[in-house]
């Protein structure tokens, strides 16, 4: 019954994994942030579950659909596979309190800075929250991490693989026995 719990790396998407062009959803517009595929492969190899948690209010605004988001993620996964990297789960929040599409016009607990997506992943996947962290580029990402009780690391651009390597070094120092 008991599954071994793994640490998770929660990754914001736009501005962390892919270059944020503003409501990016077309597969042909996917441009990886420098070092992102290597960073994700590094996390895979270090035994982390890699979980994307992304606000996609473009759905509520009527710019694109949930199917478009899923298509973009499938394309991202295929491109990552070419680098031997894998995302284990995607959580996307399509809601916005001021959206144009009635079905998605909701002040939803999943939308960061609220922690709903992370909390759901913690329930649905065999994750050890104490050894997990989130990487995001915005204060709302840090707030969501904090609300879910996982460490938050703010990425300000540059090479994501260098950044992840430093985070993993810090995590292994924090978790090593005294």
Q: So which residues are the catalytic ones?
A: 12, 14
What would the two tokens of residue 147 be?
């609300």
* Among candidate residues 100, 118, 101, the one with its CA nearest the CA of residue 109: 118
Closer residue to Mg ion (CB): 38 or 137 = 137
Q: Least distance from C-beta 147 to Mg ion, angstroms? A: 17
Q: Which of 8, 9, 10, 12 binds Mg ion (CB under 5 A)?
A: 12
Segment lying near Mg ion (by CB under 5 A), choices 7-15, 100-108, 126-134, 163-171:
7-15
Contacts of 71 (CB under 8 A, 6+ apart): 25, 27
> Which residue sits closest to Mg ion, CB atoms considered?
15
Q: Does residue 88 touch Mg ion according to CB under 5 A?
A: no
Residue 23 Cβ vs Mg ion, minimum distance, rounded to whole Å:
12
List the beta strands (DSSP E) in the chain: 8-11, 49-55, 89-93, 133-136, 151-154
Strand partners, 10: 51, 134
Residue (29 or 175) nearer to Mg ion, CB: 29
Q: 53, 55, 49, 42: which is closest to 163 by C-alpha? A: 42
Burial label for 103, CB within 10 Å (0-12, 13-18, 19+), is: exposed
Q: Which is nearer to Mg ion, 1 or 37 (CB)?
A: 37
Binding mask 124-153 for Mg ion (x = CB under 5 A): -------------x----------------
For the bound state, the minimum distance from the C-beta of residue 14 to Mg ion, rounded and expressed in Å, comes to 4
User: For Mg ion, which residue of 8, 11, 14, 50 counts as binding (CB under 5 A)?
Assistant: 14
Q: Least CB distance from residue 38 to Mg ion, whole Å?
A: 19
CA 40 – CA 129 distance, rounded (Å): 19
- Return residues touching Mg ion (CB under 5 A): 12, 14-15, 137
């Amino acid at each position: 019954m008991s599954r071994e719990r793994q640490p998770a790396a929660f990754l914001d998407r736009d501005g962390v994994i892919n270059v944020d062009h503003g409501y990016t959803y077309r597969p042909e517009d996917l441009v990886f942030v420098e070092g992102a595929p290597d960073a994700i492969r590094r996390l895979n190899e270090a035994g982390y579950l890699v979980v994307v948690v992304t606000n996609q209010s473009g759905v509520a605004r009527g710019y694109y659909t949930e199917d478009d988001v899923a298509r973009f993620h499938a394309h991202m996964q295929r491109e990552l596979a070419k680098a031997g990297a894998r995302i284990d789960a995607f959580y996307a929040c399509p809601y916005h309190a001021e959206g144009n599409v009635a079905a998605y016009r909701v002040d939803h607990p999943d939308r960061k800075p609220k922690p709903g997506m992370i909390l759901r992943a913690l329930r649905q996947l065999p994750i050890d929250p104490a050894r997990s962290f989130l990487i995001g580029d915005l204060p709302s990402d840090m707030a969501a991490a904090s609300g879910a009780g996982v460490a938050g690391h703010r990425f300000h651009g540059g090479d994501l693989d260098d950044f992840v390597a430093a985070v993993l070094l810090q995590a292994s120092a924090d978790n090593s026995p005294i």
